[in-house]
Structure 1
Amino acid sequence: MEATATKTPAKKKAAPSKPKQQTSVQAAPAPEPAARAQDRPETAVSPVQGFVAKVSGTATKSDTPLIETPQAVSVVTRDQMDQQSATSVKEALQYTSGVAAGTRSAFGGYDIVYSRGFVLDRYLDGLKYLGGANYTTPQIELYGLERLEVLHGPASMLYGSASPGGIVNAISKRPTDEPFHEIQLSFGNFDRVQAAFDFSGPVDSDKRWSYRLSGLASGVDSQVDFNEQERYWIAPALTWRPVTGTTLTFLANLQHDPDVGLYNNIPSYGSVTPSPFGEIPRHRFLGEPSYNVNNRDQQSVGYAFESHLNDSWTMRQNLRYMHTDGAVHQFLPFPDGMLDPTTMLRFVVDQTADIDAFSVDTNAEAKFRTGPLAHTLLFGVDYQHLNERSFVNLSLGAPIDIFNPVYGDTSILVPGAPEITDQVLDQTGIYVQDQVKWDRAVFTLGLRQDYASTSTDDLLGVALDNSQDDEEFTQRYGITYLLDGGFAPYVSYSTSFQPTLGSSGGRAFEPTTGEQYEVGIKYEPTGYKALFTLAAYDLTQQNVVTADPVLPATRVQIGEVHSRGFEAEGKVSLTDQLDLIGSYTLVDAEITESLNPTILGKHPLNIPDQLAALWAFYRIEDGPLAGLGFGGGVRYVGESAGNEDNTLEVPDFTLFDAAAQYDFGALSPRMAGTKLQLNVSNIFDEKYVSQCTNRETCLYGNGRTVITSIKYQW
């Protein structure tokens, strides 16, 4: 879906207006006065002024008002990301309802987030971000995004293979039809340094061509000794409008991560539970400084095409090719590897991976009427191909004293058995969706058929090659009723599926399947920008693969996870001066079928039972303090299971954040566009464990983080 709108003027009178997206309505539009920019309609990919988005395409693949969507959808705007100085996708989602984004420790190299009891799949511009076996996982650069959207619950009807918990869909920045320039410098604790730029505007006087070029270079140490992250990223984009109503936007990015960082696992003994030897400090490194490599390179190129053929028909195609490669060589704490109360075994991971991924989605949208019914009919076909070649060798390495580590012993106690595999996934899906309006009722009906094939070849010839073909039918039905006063109750039913590699007893695993019932109400008041969503759901995933209790090294497919919960979220911009976010989540997830009686009825790992967050930010526009903005937030993460039989519990924690900003345009028009900002997360430096997967594998969360940035826009 191509952008068709512009951002509204900047909030500060002295500051320059924010970038405007190109329009697909006119091939060579005349510049609009800034006062009229806010009248342009919002689209599914356009910038949003403030925190409150009204339109999204993630749930329907078309420009649909959020209040008419019969499923909970959360949108994080560029303004929110900037105001909170988020540095990764998972940080940007920390104030979003239903999303457990802070359970993966201080490590920022991967964006693994949970919702409704399951890990969410990641998408970029509506196409799945493919790849990520073992330790080489591609990552989306947050600075390159205009919006970040979460579709809560099954999304397979439109996207095929997807988590029952939902998807995270990132929307790239697009070229603008008015000149826009931004440079930014950031500094912080842990020796954080970052320089970034974002330039955009028309190429020719007719504005048939427009460009955008964004980039950054960053480096930061970690609260963990001998651990740092480094990134170089650039993203060119070019939009062509050959005729009125048609746009073709080329999108590319190159990312080089010389240092991705690492998970720094620690045992629960001395972190979650007390130890007579003291508490393990947050900076403790249990690997080897001389054997600590984790690098990654990503390149992608693609396009987003949209053509409004007439008042009824619109054609769209999104396409992307992506390549990822990387290497990991590290000593890591060994799960279940405590030799005695102070000494832990370590395993040595040596991995290289090379990933090629291709995705394309083509659809047609028709708007028409049949008597009193107004239809938005969408039908399309998508295809994705993944080829992942990897070398993995896991060995048993020298142990380490967790309370008094001595580094330098890189000996291998038990050599591993190398694995060289070539995995291929091909998936084709055909889908149809009809959004039908009848008086105040909006019906959403969708069906999809998928054909997936997967194969795994052992290039060493040690194990048997494995291949399987799967077919799956998914669906979604929903109804929303638009009441007076901006209220919209809804109810929906949706299903999901995910192919599962592997076999048991010579029979290939069936795909996991999921189904969800959701009921909720949305409220969009008049008079000010706000959107409130309340949602309750009942979600079940079947065909879950679990370990055989008799032969733990063998996997069997007899398992079911049942998750029920409640989510509430509100985003408000009362005026141009005040932004508010509030969210609350209650999750009750349990394992309802398993061959292992010790985990039957237990809670899955890494799923907090409650989440709550509140954020407020206020800007002063008049008087001697004009130009000053300040605010902050609080985040609560409830208890979660720390091991499979739930005998270890990860305690809840509460974190406080703060932000302050000064717009120098309030001092002088010559300084318009210059802003200084300070963000502090976890103000009180709360020490907490963010997750455990067993008694020997836990992770500390981020301590106090301070980021100071200065930005100039013109």
Structure 2
Amino acid sequence: MPFLSPRSTRRRATARLPAAAAIAAAALIGLAAPCALQAQTPRASPAPDERDYDIPAGELSRVLTEFAVQAGIQVSVEASLTTGRQSPGLRGRQSAWSGLNAILAGTGLRPERRGNAYTVRPAPAVDAVTLPGITVQGNTAAALQQEGLASDGYRVSTISSTGALGRMELRNAPYSFSVVPRELLQNVQAQSPDDVYKINPSTMTQTPQLSGWAPMVKIRGFNSYDRAEEGLRRSFGFAASLEDKERVEVLSGLSGFLYGAASPGGMVNYVHKRPTPERLNSITAGNYGGGQYYVHGDFGGPFDSNGKIGYRVNLVRQNGDTAVDDQKIDRSLASLALDFNITDRFKLELGASYSDYKMTAPTAYWFVRDDLSRPKAPDAGKNWGQPWIHDETESRKWMARMTYEASDHLTLRVAHLREYQDRPVQYHTMNSLRSSTQYAQLRQKVGPTSTESEAWQALADISFDTGPIAHQITMGYYGYMDKQWQSTYFPSTGYVGPYSLDSPTHVPEPAWPSDASARTYYASRIRNDNFMIGDLIRFNEQWSVLAGVNRSTIKAMERDENGAASQPDYDRGLTSPNVSLMFMPTPWLTAYATYLEGLEQGGVAPDEAVNRGQVLSPMRSKQRELGLKAELGGVLVSGALFDIEKAYEYANDANVYVQSGTQRHRGAEVSAVGKVTDAWTVVGGATLLTARVEGSDNDGNAPINVPKLTAKLYSEYALPFAPGLSLTGGVYYVGKQWATATNTSRLPSYTTFDLGLRYATKVTGRPLTLRLNVNNVANRSYWLNSYYLGSPRSIALSAQMQF
């Protein structure tokens, strides 16, 4: 059903039947080894009426899962029967019985019907062996784990968390989404958000994680630290890891209705790995580039024979030099996820993780005055900071989520996330260009700082009909809070030099003043509370409307080391509407128009500003968007036209960071993900953007670090002469960017290339995958933006064994 999550689809399918005849439609597919779970007694299900389907060809397990969810039926199948089998998919209007037969065409399998449940067995010509089976609810993490596989061209059909609205079909969501799934993360050997932002069609890295600061992303020309984990908001975070993530979901554009106060550029949601329905043991050993050797263990499965309790454990140890001189990463990660299927309607999910991330010689920050022309990028493989600069981030995180289906028409969702990040050691360098051939450098040491983050949700999903019109209402409360403790110890050398740009100048660590009297103090708190209600209204098979409002409130305070307010406390609320109209003229095409508003926390004055560190007032943003999503063969093609406006922030002539005027971004974006042919996979897209400042001292100028054109294409090709061997690679283009707010200095465009090979085989019956990736093959040095250099060439390799 359009626009409904699998859980909601199951409820909606039963809503029209008398209660005595209603059957809960649980989508079930066997994904585990023979020691599987005992199938639960199915609840009542509607008669197998005809519906429209558009399920692309791919691995049989994934196609069966998606069909069971959409059809609202129960399907049981042995894992051994689906392994290695492909399905032609399903398109057009079919009954559940005819659709299931079409999906199994050519697989050597056939369906059997027992009442309202279906079982997949070998066709009579096959010598069938009956093994214990498992059942997996179609709306659990098991379905997500079967999406976005390399065999399907990394194409997904579901967004795991559309903010407060929860799960939603990607094709039918009235927003612009892109997803980097688990197998793509593994195959490009991504180790930080920077690797995701590089290949994702709609994102760019603004502040790299290797800088030692929290990674910042640019979406639709707007900067954002904002992120979410499992749909729970965070304002920022240091030292992110990807080995324990199932996927990364990127929303382009305003997200105020879905996530609360955030940048108008978009939202990045990290989805954690959850327990698997079958036993999983995976060991990966490799090198992320330079000398960054690592080992990663990923283990999961059920604890008990009936699958009531499941676990997932990820362990990572990495240590070694990067491709940049003197730069080194030493990190450890341990994460645990537990699922408790207390009943078929009540599920409890728990998670915890610990991370210790140490880095030596972080990437240096560059600053150029408006009256200077930006020189050619210096050698990115050199350390333009100091070899003794280092920092450390220690993180501890806990998460809990409860989902309770009180009835076929009411689901309750409650979740809570808490994280502590301590930075016991941190040094920084900033380089100031003084001419086209020289730079000066500031070195700073900062005492211990820490952050405490918390996020929560309490939401209800209610479905019902008013005559022929179907409703799904989501309502409730969600929010987040971040607290920071700063140090009174932050001595600096001031800018010293100048030094030649021909080669970095390294000096001994200075004799810093004593920190005996230094202390940490409670410096700031920001809290965002949101009360929302939304109604997904379905008029017929073609037309739907999503309408809702969100009351969002930002409360912020800042204190100096003496406990006095360093700026006035802030408490502001905004009621933000969301209206989306959706039209499906055919099952493979969706068009939408969306208008929404949002509230955003004010920006933070950068280090080079007179009022460095000051948080400016919250801002209101508006967005208008028209979009299309079309399934063309095995490729999902998406396009959108957008118009976004927000308050403009910049450093004025007195070098004070202020808000004045409006920043307006108008543009078009297009993306394509999937298989062009059975052997050729593409993941790519382009954004054409016109950004202008209206009002303020820079009226008519373009904002800094906003290219007019970005274009990306990651591709894979399975070589026909060598089964299991694939050629991989990407080309990434970023257009010219203004390096100054006055538009007096411009950064040149740049293009980088990646190449790689992947070989999948079996050794003693166990899957083995070998990967080799060469990033920035030409070893080009370039300005990533006005503040940072791009990454030099690096070679990553790994071997992954599953058993």
TM-score where L is the length of structure 1? 0.86
CA contact (8 A) 2:32 2:278 kept: no
Higher relative contact order (CA 8 A, sep 6+): 1
Report the counterpart of residue 227 of structure 1 in structure 2. Answer: 327
* Farther-moved stretch of structure 1 (464-473 vs 446-455): 464-473
Mapped partners of 1:196, 1:510: distance in 2? 43
Q: Which amino acid aligns with 1:678?
A: L
1:677 aligns with 2:785: no
- Name the SS of the counterpart of 1:685 in structure 2: coil
1:320 aligns with 2:366: no
Mapped partners of 1:566, 1:465: distance in 2? 39
Aligned pairs for 1:162-181 within 5 A:
162-181=262-281
Q: Structure 1 pair 447/260, CA: closer, same or farther in 2 (3 Å)?
A: farther
- 2:469 maps to which of 349, 373, 394: 373
Report the counterpart of residue 134 of structure 1 in structure 2. Answer: none
**Displacement of 1:89:** 1.9
CA contact (8 A) 1:322 1:358 kept: yes
**Displacement of 1:427:** 2.5
- Name the SS of the counterpart of 1:634 in structure 2: strand
**Displacement of 1:191:** 0.8
Residue deviations 1:440-482 (CA, integer Å, cap 9, x gap): 1121112011233211121236764631211111121111100
Mapped partners of 1:616, 1:591: distance in 2? 36
CA contact (8 A) 2:179 2:248 kept: yes
Report the counterpart of residue 483 of structure 2 in structure 1. Answer: 387
Report the counterpart of residue 700 of structure 2 in structure 1. Answer: 601
Aligned pairs for 1:183-582 within 5 A:
183-187=283-287, 189-259=289-359, 262-266=362-366, 273=374, 280-290=378-388, 292-330=389-427, 332-335=429-432, 338=434, 341-391=437-487, 393=490, 395-397=492-494, 398-399=496-497, 401-402=499-500, 403=502, 405-408=505-508, 410=510, 420-439=521-540, 440-460=542-562, 464=566, 466-484=568-586, 486-500=588-602, 510-525=617-632, 528-542=633-647, 544-549=648-653, 551-553=654-656, 555-574=657-676, 577-582=679-684
Q: Which amino acid aligns with 1:681?
A: N
Mapped partners of 2:300, 2:351: distance in 1? 13
Q: Structure 1 pair 347/508, CA: closer, same or farther in 2 (3 Å)?
A: closer
- Name the SS of the counterpart of 1:90 in structure 2: helix
- Name the SS of the counterpart of 1:53 in structure 2: coil
Residue deviations 1:368-426 (CA, integer Å, cap 9, x gap): 2111211111001013222211116253344352345241262679x9x9995521223
- 2:167 maps to which of 45, 49, 63: 63
**Displacement of 1:126:** 0.6
Mapped partners of 1:509, 1:237: distance in 2? 38
CA contact (8 A) 1:479 1:490 kept: yes
- 1:686 maps to which of 780, 783, 786: 780
1:664 aligns with 2:783: no
Mapped partners of 1:569, 1:54: distance in 2? 15
CA contact (8 A) 1:83 1:659 kept: no
Q: Which amino acid aligns with 1:218?
A: Q
Q: Structure 1 pair 227/183, CA: closer, same or farther in 2 (3 Å)?
A: same
Q: Structure 1 pair 36/435, CA: closer, same or farther in 2 (3 Å)?
A: farther
Report the counterpart of residue 591 of structure 1 in structure 2. Answer: 693
Mapped partners of 1:238, 1:206: distance in 2? 15
Q: Which amino acid aligns with 1:500?
A: G
Mapped partners of 1:8, 1:90: distance in 2? 33
**Displacement of 1:707:** 0.8
Mapped partners of 2:386, 2:211: distance in 1? 17
Report the counterpart of residue 611 of structure 1 in structure 2. Answer: 710
Mapped partners of 1:312, 1:529: distance in 2? 34
1:712 aligns with 2:758: no
Mapped partners of 1:210, 1:272: distance in 2? 59
Aligned pairs for 1:71-110 within 5 A:
71-101=175-205, 104=208, 107=211, 110=214
Q: Structure 1 pair 258/426, CA: closer, same or farther in 2 (3 Å)?
A: same
CA contact (8 A) 1:29 1:206 kept: no
Q: Structure 1 pair 536/663, CA: closer, same or farther in 2 (3 Å)?
A: same
Q: CA RMSD in A?
A: 3.7
1:46 aligns with 2:144: yes
- Name the SS of the counterpart of 2:183 in structure 1: helix
- 1:158 maps to which of 258, 281, 305: 258
**Displacement of 1:529:** 3.4
* Farther-moved stretch of structure 1 (529-538 vs 223-232): 223-232
**Displacement of 1:631:** 2.3
Q: Which amino acid aligns with 1:332?
A: T
CA contact (8 A) 2:69 2:138 kept: no
Mapped partners of 1:513, 1:606: distance in 2? 22
**Displacement of 1:633:** 1.7
Mapped partners of 2:30, 2:362: distance in 1? 38
Q: Which amino acid aligns with 1:99?
A: T
**Displacement of 1:235:** 0.5
Q: Which amino acid aligns with 1:466?
A: P
**Displacement of 1:352:** 2.5
Aligned length: 676
**Displacement of 1:577:** 4.1
Q: Which amino acid aligns with 2:159?
A: S
Structure 2 unmatched runs, 5+:
8-26, 34-57, 88-102, 104-136, 606-610
CA contact (8 A) 1:457 1:466 kept: no
Identity of aligned residues (%): 21
Q: Structure 1 pair 661/556, CA: closer, same or farther in 2 (3 Å)?
A: closer
Report the counterpart of residue 96 of structure 2 in structure 1. Answer: none
Residue deviations 1:283-321 (CA, integer Å, cap 9, x gap): 43343334x121100010011221222221111112111
Residue deviations 1:197-239 (CA, integer Å, cap 9, x gap): 1000000111111101011111242343322122100101111
Q: Structure 1 pair 355/409, CA: closer, same or farther in 2 (3 Å)?
A: closer
CA contact (8 A) 1:366 1:378 kept: yes
TM-score where L is the length of structure 2? 0.77
